Amino acid sequence: MMQVLPITPRGYCPGVVKAIDIVNKAIENPTLPRPIYILGMIVHNRFVVDDFTQKGVITLNETGKTRLELLDYVKEGTVIITAHGTEDAVFQKIKDKGLTLINATCKDVQKTHDLIKGYLEKKYDILFIGKNHHPETEGALGIDPKIQLIESLEDVLKLSSSDHPIFVTNQTTLSIRDLDKIFALIQTKFPHAVISDEICNSTRIRQEAVLKSNNNIDLCFVVGDPFSHNTASLVKLSKTFTNAITYPIESVDDIRPEQLLGYKTVSVTSGASTPTLITSRVIEYLKQFDETDKSTWVK
């Protein structure tokens, strides 16, 4: 039998718990105008989205379209802003269309927006480190067209000098190792830049746990949606900085028994928007797996 290490913490982060609770309460509230729309995936997990779809909620999510553009599909009803937040123009458009608004923005994302607005008022140039087209990044960049997106060290090297003071902040779900490198280069190039590391606590703790746990592990499964950036960060960290062979999976159905043969230890972690039940099924399967007994290979 394999030795299985469930890495903690796992399960929903507080921002995801809040967002899901907000949608459930909206569903249960008969006074809210229908239909109920979610502007994007409420959290980046298709199992959560599919569950709400079955309950009659309409998720508006189309590759290449911004939150502002997605609102064109809505004529009446209630609109829920996702945990990733959005720009002020979206809130204004919802108001102008006479729609009912429910805001499920994560408090950590809102804090980042408030910081950016505060430094804009002080006439700072703003650098935002994030993944292009991610909804959280879209919301931050939408605050002001002058905000510059930084995705890599190469982007920092391309920056020209500025007569204004510089404020730097980031998407809350990035890899802590990648972010530290970008911060260091910015500090070297702009020694007086004000840097505010806004990696959320849930993301940081999960990443540190993977780095600590996986060096003596053969395999690691990271359970999460392909669209989940915090899941992708866990995968990248484990692959790059630990000794564990690492596989991203959505559920137990993605595990191939052949992947487990010849290995003695396996760890399991999950993104912050992955339902606990999904991860628990992965752990249960791995705990009962015996490569000498093919009956345990069946899911």
**Secondary structure of the chain as H, E, C letters:** CCEEEECCCCCCCHHHHHHHHHHHHHHHCCCCCCCEEEECCCCCCHHHHHHHHHCCCEEECCCCCCHHHHHHHCCCCEEEECCCCCCHHHHHHHHHCCCEEEECCCHHHHHHHHHHHHHHHCCCEEEEECCCCCHHHHHHHCCCCCCEEECCHHHHHCCCCCCCCEEEEECCCCCHHHHHHHHHHHHHHCCCCEECCCCCHHHHHHHHHHHHHHHHCCEEEEECCCCCHHHHHHHHHHHHHCCCEEEEECCHHHCCHHHHCCCCEEEEEECCCCCHHHHHHHHHHHHHCCCCCHHHHCC
Task: Count how many Cα atoms sit within 13 Å of the Cα of residue 71 in the half-sphere of its side chain.
Answer: 22
DSSP 161: P
d(CA 98, CA 100): 7
- Residue 165 burial (10 A CB sphere; 0-12, 13-18, 19+): middle
AA letter at 286: L
258 in active site? no
Given the residues 87, 136, 138, 250, select the one marked as catalytic: 136
Residues recognised as catalytic: 136
